[in-house]
Amino acid sequence: MQTVRLAAALFFFSSVLLLSAQSASGSYPRAQNVTWKSTNFKTILAWEPKPSAEYSYTVEFSKVGGDKQRKPHCIRSSGTVCDLSSSLTELDAYYTADVLSEPPLGANSDLTEFPYTSSPRFCPYKETDIGKPDFKLEVSEDKKKTTLYVTDPLTALFKDGSQLNIRDIFSDQLQYRVTYRKNKSTGKKVHDAKTNVIELTGLDRGESYCFYIQAYIPSRSVDKQLGEVSQTQCSNDDSKSILEVYSVGVIAAAIFLILLLVGLIIAVSVICCRRRRKALKSGKEGLPLRDV
């Protein structure tokens, strides 16, 4: 009988301890959907869900195989993002991060290890998305050459107080892909260039062409080779129809004025003809009759 009671007591206490542990860990749910979001080396670690008042998040990150680090603004935070742009200093290295669920700032817990969720590996040099570039369009006077002047997108990185652009980082690995077509046509052509000044020859003279540009890095994986598409720009069309040059209202007004002018000319002509006939008729009536 005592053995049964002892076993029941042990079961009771173990159940209480288990429930307590579950309750303690349950108050700090793990982060979910931990992902990297990076454009032009502006690198954000993001996750879900937004924490309640009972817990917070802390981010630990490291180069693969290196020591873990923390950023002050990502320790026991109620946010669900952490900007690590300036912390990933070796751009061609791979990094991982853990999002820990901890007590809110100022609170204590009996737990020695907190639940966490790890991110996938991330390499800034190979995986950051490249934003859309700006460019200017210039057509030569003889209409034989079109030149595109491309501005390298700026990054979130600085060196010696100066903001770096993507050319500063990728150097000769960076190219630009130009996609162009005749205006109002669906057929497209592609031209890759290694410089920021891109000259296109062999285009039909007098035709309007439309262009857009993307950063192109052939050394990357296929899904990361091309950057965001720029705004489309079109050259002027020297053979525009009258409907493209003038609005419908202007054309209608011009037609009305022409018809009005023609009507006035006709009216004046009719009046002049009538007066002439009347004058001739009056002149005949005023002549004396001839003797028979």
For residue 158, count other CB atoms closer than 10 A to its CB: 11
- Does one domain contain both 62 and 139? no
CB 47 within 8 A of CB 39: no
| DSSP category for residue 90 | S
For residue 39, count other CB atoms closer than 10 A to its CB: 16
- The backbone torsions φ and ψ at residue 266, rounded to the nearest 5 degrees and listed phi first, read -65, -45
- The backbone torsions φ and ψ at residue 61, rounded to the nearest 5 degrees and listed phi first, read -135, 160
With respect to residue 173, please indicate whether it lies within any of the assigned structural domains. yes
With respect to residue 40, please indicate whether it lies within any of the assigned structural domains. yes
CB 37 within 8 A of CB 129: no
Any long-range contacts for 105-110 (C-beta under 8 Å, 24+ apart)? 105/56, 105/76, 109/24, 109/28, 110/24
Helix (H, G, I), strand (E, B) or coil at 105: coil
**Rounded Cα–Cα distance for residues 43 and 62 (Å):** 14
pLDDT of residue 58: 97
pLDDT of residue 284: 59
Structural domain harbouring 85: 28-127
Closest to 190 measured CA to CA, from 207, 200, 178: 178
pLDDT of residue 11: 45
pLDDT of residue 269: 83
Quote the number of domains for the chain.
Answer: 2
What is this structure's pTM? 0.71
- Does one domain contain both 44 and 87? yes
Per-residue pLDDT tens listing for the chain (292 residues):
455 454 445 444 444 343 344 344 446 899 999 999 999 999 999 999 999 999 999 999 999 999 999 999 999 999 999 999 999 999 999 999 999 999 998 888 777 789 999 999 999 999 999 999 999 999 988 888 899 999 999 999 999 999 999 999 999 999 999 999 998 888 899 999 999 999 999 888 888 999 999 999 999 999 999 999 999 999 986 545 555 545 677 778 888 889 888 888 888 888 888 777 777 777 655 555 555 4
Strand order through the sheet with 233-234: 189-193, 175-182, 209-216, 233-234
CB 105 within 8 A of CB 57: no
For residue 84, count other CB atoms closer than 10 A to its CB: 22
Domain containing residue 208: CATH number:
2.60.40.10
> Which of 127, 142, 173 is the endpoint of a domain?
127
How far the first Cα of the chain sits from its last, in Å, is 173
- Does one domain contain both 172 and 197? yes
